[in-house]
Structure 1
Amino acid sequence: MDGVTDNQGLVLDGVQIRLGARELVALNARIGRGETLTVMGPSGSGKSTLLACLGGFLDPVFSASGSVVVDGVEITALPAEKRRAGLLFQDPLLFPHLSVADNIAIALPEDIRGRGQRRALALEALADVDLAEFGDRDPDTLSGGQKARVALQRVLASRPRLLLLDEPFSKLDAHLREQTRQMVFDRARRAGLPVVLVTHDEDDARAAGGAVHRVGQP
């Protein structure tokens, strides 16, 4: 990657998060498209709180300052639905009342009209992760690794500006964890998305590459 410019990637300028008088996070970072910043620290150190701040759903018990700019767009004051931050959590959070394909189709932008077109795009996304025949399946019939792939494709289908990862590999077994890491970072690079990963796993950081910021250190 070439260096990050003001209109390329994610720029965190003086981002600070506090809980009362206690500083949890203080961060300056520039993350290029397809690059990952890994934020590491123990439970309760503010990692997930940082993602909430970036995504626009920070609990008001916390205070935040600084600016967040994505591809030249200042998103600091935007509501969550306008920030276009894609999120992956520890659990895939698939909708149990929808088919696998509809779980993806529901995330497609509103400018893609027509049920047929939306379904075709959802099936194309499933084919991209070797799940072409799974569109009509109930999500509960999928394995953990398959659910993780559907969750990733649902996030990417929403056309995010950035990708926020909240320990999405932690509940997978070792083999699936490595496969899923490779898939997530490969798709993020392919889509040109700046990524912020929070984790306590050094293997996650190594797989992500890029800079590492540690929080909650004495």
Structure 2
Amino acid sequence: MKKCLIHTEKPYEVVIGSGVSGKIGEYLTSLGLSGKVLVVSDTNVAPLYAEGVADELVYHGFEPSIFTFDAGEESKNLSTYGDILAFLAEDEFTRTDTVLALGGGVVGDMAGFAAATYMRGIHFINMPTSLLAAIDSSVGGKTAVDLPQGKNLVGAFYQPELVLFDTDFMKTLPYDEIRNGLGEGVKYAVLEGGEIFDILSDGLTSDNLEQFIYLSV
């Protein structure tokens, strides 16, 4: 397991490792969080991981709910965003409760923007499930939705309180998604060189995956 501290106005950790999703309840408790947690996911990821995450949260005394939307960029719109807000309001979430993104970049954008704007901001945790999201969109605080006129036209900068990437998620990741993440890694290798370049030259494996993500973040 590796940890990386992201230095923002309110610093937060990125935790990378095998099986770390099974400790989500412990991590949230260590942050002083409690109460309700809305797990936002999509139709690709939710059937694989959402119930397991929810069960772990229940075990640690949280009250999880799951909100699932159709996978794909076409769902990254004001309608889906409004549905998430409506769910939060109808379930009487307060500013002390939490939104948890479980998915790739689209899920992170949608859940993050909802967390940033519901009641002027509630707790936000990001659990990326794709390699690209782990090394790129899950860190930096960019959240947004698309308009018919263009992508990411409505959004906010809103940092998570924790980013948790379980490398076991890679076992169910389609090849195209792995390739997208590696493409982003090549960009980092060109800019930074060094160990990232060496890892990509040797080939990404289960043995060097944590280090690759750590260096990319």
Calculate the TM-score normalised by the size of structure 2: 0.38
Larger radius of gyration: 1
Calculate the TM-score normalised by the size of structure 1: 0.38
Relative to its length, the structure with more helix (as a share) is 2
